[in-house]
Amino acid sequence: MTGDLERAIAAECDRLGLVVPPEAVPRLAAYSASLWSWNERLNLTRHTDVEKFVSRDVGDAVAIAAHLASGERVLDVGTGGGVPGVLLAIIRPDLRVELADSVAKKARAVAAILRDVGIAIPVHEGAAQALVKARSTGPERFDTLVVRAVAPLEKLLRWFEPLAAAYGRMLVVKGPRWEEEKAEARHHGLAKRVLVRRLASWPIRGSDNESVLLEIRQRPAA
């Protein structure tokens, strides 16, 4: 069964032109199988078939990975079932990935999934803001926070703009409304300490829309 899933994931990656290391495919298959099993008990993902898993979840992780330097310390904020953090760790084992979710049952579920698959990634229960603040200096400071499907930009900036000096940057996956969300955040005065720019975009398979990767960094001192 797992072999069939591996072949299906590899074939879908090839079809979509997603470059994934061959040695990552068995771990992607094991992770997706465990995630889907857990999803029957707890709503962790809407992408419960190979096509959606590869086109949306793996596709987003591949796009993010292209903008991460070797050895970066990465925190997946609001990880849910582990996307994109677990996928980044599988695709890019050089990264130092950690996961955080404020919903305790989701954090415990993804920790169990990782045990099932045999992947060692720290999982933190509670708000990511507290973790980022506690590790604002020293070797465990986060280089990049990755965020997908967590909250509108206004809410994200309410959480993380005050901590802009405590981490390197945020990489946020957004949909076609990102410019409206950016304007709304500015309207509420939430872009004074940070710069928001578009790094990349890629098509959302099966629709006319695209996903966008935004980079949010502290504004340089005047």
Show the low-confidence residues of the chain (pLDDT under 70): 1-2, 206, 222
Which pLDDT belongs to residue 45? 86
User: What's the per-residue H, E or C state across 114-181?
Assistant: HHHHCCCCCEEECCHHHHHHHCCCCCCCCCEEEEECCCCHHHHHHHHHHHHHHCCEEEEEECCCHHHH
d(CA 65, CA 18): 12
Give me the pLDDT at residue 192, please: 84
Q: Quick one: pLDDT at residue 139?
A: 94
What pLDDT, on the 0 to 100 scale, is given for residue 222?
66
Domain ranges of the chain: 55-218
What pLDDT does 190 receive?
86
77: enclosing H helix or E strand? strand 73-77
55-218 CATH, one of 3.40.50.150, 3.40.50.1360, 3.40.140.10, 3.30.530.20? 3.40.50.150
Q: How far apart are CA 42 and CA 22, in angstroms?
A: 30
Q: Quote the CA–CA distance of 194 and 216 in Å, as a whole number.
A: 6
Q: pLDDT tens-digit profile of 118-157?
A: 999 999 999 999 999 999 999 999 999 999 988 899 999 9
SS3 18: coil
Q: How many CB atoms lie within 10 A of CB 163?
A: 17
Q: H helices of 25-67, where?
A: 25-39, 50-52, 59-65
Residue with tokens 């990349």: 200
